[in-house]
Structure 1
């Protein structure tokens, strides 16, 4: 029985499977790289938004501090004039 046809066929299948595995590895590595890049972008955007919120909170507290100082001065004036 001549098995050369089966041997050639098997070698072809082995090559196809090897190529498929290489492609899967390559696509997986690309997906990981893209996921990491996206995660970095999301982290940067999140950090930027948080910094903006912290700056707004700082400005709000400074304004509140000025208002409390002005109110304190008004109260002192009021009781000083009595």
Structure 2
């Protein structure tokens, strides 16, 4: 998304593993100033039991975290 928006210095990477741990770890390894994650919709009980990736990343990331709402960047529906 950042690359498509033309933001300089944005890096896209692919990592395997639990994103709740991998995202903050990667941000630390790269010395990132900002970690951007997009919230996905889960049922209330699933989010309560499993936790939100965005929330867990925000709590443990060594940098600021921007959480984008579900649907961010989607073209508006005509109607």
When normalised by structure 1's length, the TM-score is 0.18
Bigger share in strand: 2
Judging by fraction of residues, say which structure has more helix.
Answer: 1
Structure possessing the higher radius of gyration over alpha carbons: 1
> What TM-score, normalized by structure 2, do the two folds share?
0.18
| Higher RCO structure, 1 or 2 (CA under 8 Å, sep 6+) | 2
